[in-house]
Amino acid sequence: MTSMIVRAYVGRGARLWLLTRLAVGIVFLFGQGDPLDVSTRNSFGLVLVSTVACVAETTRRRELVLLGNLGVSYAQLAAFFALPAIAGEALLRILMSIVAA
């Protein structure tokens, strides 16, 4: 597997995580909640929703056959999409704990 494939899918995962985080933040804002809520349950849910959205986007683009021919399994694809979301949520949690202190 080449780094070009990894960069493309990790980049897509990061973009879709940002969009997911923004959409959930707007919903929380309209519901008078904290848009930057970084509780463990919310973070896990956002990572899961972001990863599912990325897999759905890849399926919509009909790229699964190409990735299968290149030797990329579903587990690897899910990891490519989950890693930027996990890193982003961890970074957000660290930043929010610094700000709260």
**3-state DSSP percent of the chain in helix, strand and coil, to 5:** 80, 0, 20
pTM of this structure: 0.86
Rounded to whole angstroms, the Cα distance separating 44 from 67 reads 26
Q: Is 63 exposed, middle or buried (0-12, 13-18, 19+ CB in 10 A)?
A: middle
25-84 pLDDT, tens per residue? 888 888 887 777 767 888 899 999 999 999 999 999 999 999 989 888 889 999 999 999
What span, in angstroms and rounded, lies between the C-alpha atoms of 50 and 54?
Answer: 6
Residue 1: pLDDT band with limits 50, 70, 90: low
**What whole-number distance in Å separates Cα of residue 65 and Cα of residue 91?**
34
